[in-house]
Structures are given as structure tokens and as C-alpha cells.
Amino acid sequence: MKADVKSPHSILDKYTALLDISCRLNSEKNFEQLLKLIADEATKHVDAERATIFILDKNKGELWAKIALGVSDTIRFDARLGIAGAVLIAAKPLVVEDAYRSPLFYPSIDSNTGFHTRNILSVPLRTPKQEIIGVFQVLNKRDGKFTTEDEHFVQALANQAAIALENAQALSELEIRQQELIQENQSLRKEVEERFTTRSILGTSAKINEIRSIIERTSDTSVSVLITGENGTGKELSARAIHYMSARRTKPFVAVNCAALPEPLVESELFGIEKGVATGVERRVGRIESANGGTLFLDEIGDLSLTAQAKLLRVLQEREVEWVGGRRPVPVDIRLLAATNKDLKEEIRQNRFRQDLFFRLNVIHVRMPALREIRMDIPLLATYFLRKHAKEVGRDIQNFSADSLKTLTTYQWPGNVRELENEIKRAMVLATGREIQVQDLSEHIVEERLAVPEAEAGKKPGQKQSLKDRVTTLEIHMIRDAMAQTEGDRRRAARILGLSHQGLLNKLKRYGLES
Ligand SMILES: Nc1ncnc2c1ncn2[C@@H]1O[C@H](COP(=O)(O)OP(=O)(O)O)[C@@H](O)[C@H]1O
Ligand SMILES: [Mg+2]
């Protein structure tokens, strides 16, 4: 027989118990364990046969519960039904002394579980923000009726339970979200890996085929590769392909543009810097070290200072980096890829590039062709960019008119594939029809076509082209560059070109370059 509930001693006991339960509730993070703990404590302290916690599923408008301890079935029902539903709607406690006599009672739960409900004490599960997240019920007081004191105790327990349940639910949602993020991350990684293989390097010309083949052949090694070529020829694209084809693909690919690093920062950026080397300097891990295990891509390596070149050489020889202001070197395992649009041999002759570093980099050499060397690939690339940017530009343009494609194929493309891509994007924005027409292309591209004899289309420069035509093309290029450089200032452009002002005006007129 339990202690008399009315004795002050027993009240104190209950509230001490409540404090203790509250602590345990807060340390239980597993939702199901928590439900069990709450139910166990409630039945024990109010001397009832069973306790049930109904959780409100707001989206479905249903209450659900693990119906009884030890029974793993979950029941769900319309949140407006039964005594639990009534408590939910009224948002206050309810004591039912004879369940089967109450019009609110929903007997099908009993018939499902085989339990016979006599009386019920039911209270809302309310969070501190006054949100009702469910209903808490205690069934069948062993010894008579539920008292007001039971009601207070169960309500107090329910308030603690609501907090703990809310936390546990938030936590499990976080865990689910985290799982989703991990999966998303994995599939994105896979997508990236696929996207950057040699399949991303488009073209059917012999030169592009050869590049794909070299990259595939180096994929199971960690040798350095030097990638040369003009701007916009796909040097970085190839570097990524090399990395994502290699065994290092799951490790970082770190690209550093040496030309973009201001001289005083080059060393700390590449090699890392210890805190306090100069006033206010924070500790910073170098890019070389962040590529550990993976690939470091040094773009525009021809612009690296001689001091940095010496330090880089040391990294390659010793396989360790020395931080600026660091005490001891840190071992690193990187594969180095480097790119440049400069002629490194010439840079060596001018004492601007170290020969020993050059030999280290140039184990394999990949030379990206200028776009004008692979004119046969222009239609393929142009069509690819058309599809690639359709969404972004919001246009459903599938094709080029024969004439516009011919114009694109004839142009010299000083900016190579990058320029082609931008030109296509621009034309897509301006196009009014479902095909790109000549008039959608930039003026200078169309004009060059007019200036260049048909014979050059599809041919390598120098092939079957008269000197006069070549000179004309060159002139147009130089004039355009000078005009771009001076933002259309004809006097300054004339000076750059070594022409008189009038001389330039005449040429602009002759080639139709006046804007
Ligand atoms: N063969 C190619 N196939 C598909 N896209 C290419 C190709 N070559 C270059 N590109 C694209 O052209 C742009 C410039 O290439 P990028 O690698 O940055 O050139 P670089 O590093 O030589 O300046 C990028 O958007 C790249 O994806
Ligand atoms: Mg680049």
C-alpha cells in the first residue's frame, strides 16, 4: 500500500521526485526512451496502471502514440477524437471517472490493445512557449479516483516532459538533416568527380583527343604536369580533369592564381604564416598545406617571384613546407600541376624563372591549343554552350543559323574558348528568334568575317592565305585591341598604334570599325 497522498511528507517526496525526473528527462536525448521514461515515472508516482503520451502530428492533424509500455505498436487517430482530442482542443486537463460512460471516450484503442480503461487523468503537453505538442494520459488509478493532487503532479510532469520532448525532437530532426546533408554531400562529390573527368573536355579534333589521352595516361600517377596555352584555352579545366581522374580525387583540389597574389602575401598565402610574425598577424594555413593528400594547381606560375620559386622548389624536393615564422617544417604530400600562358623557356633566359623548378614541373607537358587551331571544334563547343546557358539566360534557343555558325568558325578568337562562351551567352540574350543569327553576334566578330576572305574559314592561319589578307586581319586585331585598351579614345589608340589620328580614322572607316 502506498503512502497517504495527503501527508505533507509525501507531497515533498513527490516534488523531490519531480526534480529528479526533470534532470533525467533532460539528459535523455532518445525520443522513444524519453517517452518510456515519462510514462514509467507517471504510473509510479500517481499509482496508476498505465500512461500514454500522445504526440500531435500537426501536418496530418493526427495524434499518435506508442500505445503501451512493452507494446511496440504505434496508433494514430484523428486529433479531434477521444478524450485526448478533447484535452487538445480545450487545452486544459480532464479527469474522467468512468471511461465507458463518457461520450468522449474512444473505445477502439482499448479494443486494439486489450486493455480495459476505467478512469483517465489527461493533461495537455504544453511547451514554455505555450504551444501544445500533445496530450499526456494516466489510466486506471489503482486505488480509487485521481485526486487534484495527482492532477497537479501529472501537469507538472507534463510540463517538464514537453520541454524534453521538444528538445529531443529538434535533436532528431537535426540528426536527420545531418544525415541528409552527408548524403547530399556524397552525391554532389560524385557529381563533381564525374563532371570534371576528361569527358568535360569537349572536342573531336586530333589536338583535343591527344590531350584527353595524355590526361588519362597520367591518371594513375602523381607526376607533375605543366599545362601551357593562351588564356581561355581550358588549362584549368584540364587541371581539374587530371585531379578528378586520379586516385587523389577524394582529396582537395586547391587552385591558386599566382598572378592574383600581391607580392607581400605570396609566401604567407602559399606556405602559411605563424601568428605574431608581424604585429596583428593571425596564424594562417598555407594553400600548399590545405592541398595535402590532393592536388595543388598553381595557375599563372610564370608570375611567381624568384623567392617564392625557391621556396616552392624546396617543398617539392623535401616534401615539407616551412611556414613563415614557423619553427619546424610540416610534411606534405601534394601533386603539383602548374599552368602558364608565358613561354617559360624565354622566362628562364631572362632570369625570371628558375630552370631547376621548370624541370620539376615539366615532367609531363600538356599544351592547350588556341581555339583558332581547332576551328573544327567550334560548332560543337558553341552548341554545347548554347545548351549549357539556356536555363540561366531563360531562352529556348537550340541552334545557330548556318551563316552565324560560319561567322563563329571564321573569327580569330583571341580570348579562345572563354571568349566563345561569353559570346554565345551574349548572343542568346540578344537573340529574338529560336536560332542565333549573324546580327545577334558582336559587331567585331561579324566585321572580321567581312574582312577575312572566305578561304580562311576552317583553315589554319598561314594556309593558302595571301600576305595581304593576313596583314588585314592583323591590322583589325591591333586596332580593336588598342580601342579596347583606351576605351574608345581614338587619339590615344592612334598613339599606341603609331598612327596619325587621321590615319586611324581612315582605317576604322575602311574596316567598318566605327562605333
Ligand atoms: N575543350 C573544352 N570543352 C569545354 N569547355 C571548355 C573547353 N576549353 C575551355 N572550356 C571552358 O572555357 C572556359 C575557360 O577555360 P579555363 O580552363 O578557365 O581556361 P584557362 O585556364 O586556360 O584560362 C571555362 O568555362 C571552360 O570550362
Ligand atoms: Mg585560367
Gap from CA of 236 to ligand 2 centroid (Å):
5
* pLDDT of amino acid 194: 73
337 Cα–ligand 2 center, Å: 13
Q: Which of 444, 366, 88, 348 is nearest to 207 (CA)?
A: 366
Best CA proximity match to 358, nearest among 306, 295, 291, 323: 306
What is the model's pLDDT at position 459?
45
Q: Give the separation between CA 501 and CA 213, rounded to whole angstroms.
A: 51
Contact 413, 397 (CB under 8 A): no
Give the pLDDT confidence score for residue 73 in this predicted structure: 67
- C-alpha 299 – ligand 2 centre gap (Å): 7
Q: What Rg, from alpha-carbon coordinates, does the chain have?
A: 38
Q: How far is the CA of 300 from the centre of ligand 2 (A)?
A: 8
Pocket probe for ligand 1: among 417, 421, 423, the residue whose CB has the most ligand atoms within 8 Å is: 417
Measured between its terminal Cα atoms, the distance across the chain in Å is 103
Return the pLDDT at 456.
Answer: 43
Q: Which of 311, 317, 356 is nearest to 334 (CA)?
A: 317
Return the ligand 1 atom nearest residue 299 CA.
Answer: 21
List ligand 1's pocket residues with C-beta within 6 A. 201-203, 208, 229, 231-237, 381, 417-418, 421
Closest CA to 313 of 276, 349, 360: 360
Cβ 70 vs Cβ 208: under 8 Å: no
445: number of Cβ within 10 Å:
20
Positive/negative CA dihedral, 219, 222, 223, 225? positive
pTM over 0.75: no
pLDDT tens for each residue of the chain, 515 residues long = 444 445 555 777 778 888 888 888 888 878 788 888 888 888 998 999 999 899 898 888 898 887 654 455 678 888 888 899 999 999 999 999 998 998 888 887 787 778 889 999 999 999 989 999 999 999 999 988 999 999 999 999 999 889 888 888 887 788 888 888 888 888 888 777 777 788 899 999 999 999 999 999 998 899 999 999 999 999 999 999 999 999 999 999 999 999 998 888 899 999 999 988 888 888 899 999 999 999 999 999 999 999 999 999 999 999 999 999 988 999 999 999 999 999 999 999 999 999 999 999 999 999 999 999 999 999 999 999 999 998 888 888 989 999 999 999 989 999 999 999 999 999 999 998 899 999 999 999 988 776 654 444 444 444 556 777 778 888 888 888 888 777 788 999 999 899 999 999 998 888 877 76
